Chains A and B, each alone.
Chain A
Amino acid sequence: QQQVKQSPQSLIVQKGGIPIINCAYENTAFDYFPWYQQFPGKGPALLIAIRPDVSEKKEGRFTISFNKSAKQFSLHIMDSQPGDSATYFCAASLLQGTYKYIFGTGTRLKVLA
């Protein structure tokens, strides 16, 4: 009930490609779904987040698609660049209560020049 399943574990794309990372959750009470980007040896940084009352959110080249009925959400990176090479984590949270995040296991993305 508290797990967030993330796939794929790793991903390699050519520059300009559109990598897609998927996450699935079980607990329908989750109401906040952030994506974090982490470079080696650094702390994660918030990339984009979505609430379940919208199906899509765009910020620059990053888009979250959200399917409430399927309990799935995904991150798309448009026109990917070598600088996007990093590990990406999805998470789910309850904004009311403890504000704990449940993180996915991460996707290591490599964008080839």
Chain B
Amino acid sequence: DGGITQSPKYLFRKEGQNVTLSCEQNLNHDAMYWYRQDPGQGLRLIYYSQIVNDFQKGDIAEGYSVSREKKESFPLTVTSAQKNPTAFYLCASSIRQAGEQFFGPGTRLTVL
């Protein structure tokens, strides 16, 4: 089955710790995206990548970092510099020349 997987589904972190969220896709999509979702604020773009070894900051990149070493993988690191990291994180991918973005099931991060 083709799709996007995110792991873990739930993640708990202590303040001051970095944590990495996994995103893998087997759709052969070139572009991948990370969004943050907070209640009442919709989806906000953190980082996106159109090709391997290249990525750009989105609207709320501060306190986050990414890498794109493989086409199918786009991990997101939430660093201790992110002041309010508790949120629902969504990964998405798309064919570069088409509009539809396919979303993964999400990871809910809670900072204790």
Contact = CB atoms under 8 A, between A and B. Distances in A.
Contacts of A105: 40-42
Contacts of B98: 95
Nearest to A101: B101
Chain B: interface size category: 20 to 34
Interface stretch (B43-51, B60-68, B71-79): B43-51
Given A42-B105, A43-B106, A44-B90, A103 B42 contact: yes
Contacts of A98: 48, 50, 56
B106 A42 contact: yes
Nearest to A9: B40
Nearest to B106: A43
Nearest to A96: B97
Contacts of B97: 95
Given A9-B40, A43-B105, A89-B42, A34 B99 contact: yes
B94 interface: yes
Given A32-B99, A46-B100, A99 B31 contact: yes
Of the candidates A9, A49, A89, A103, the one having the most CB atoms from chain B within 10 angstroms of its own CB is A103
B50 A99 contact: yes
Contacts of B6: 43
Chain A: interface size category: 20 to 34
Contact of B45 (A32, A44, A100): A100
A25 B31 CA distance: 24
Given A42-B105, A42-B106, A49 B100 contact: yes
B19 to A, nearest CB: 19
B99 A99 contact: yes
Contacts of A44: 43, 90, 103
A65 to B, nearest CB: 19
B58 interface: yes
Contacts of A103: 42-44
B103 A99 contact: no
5 contacts: A43-B4, A43-B104, A43-B105, A45-B103, A46-B102
Interface pairs A-B: 3 shortest CB-CB: A43-B103, A32-B99, A105-B42
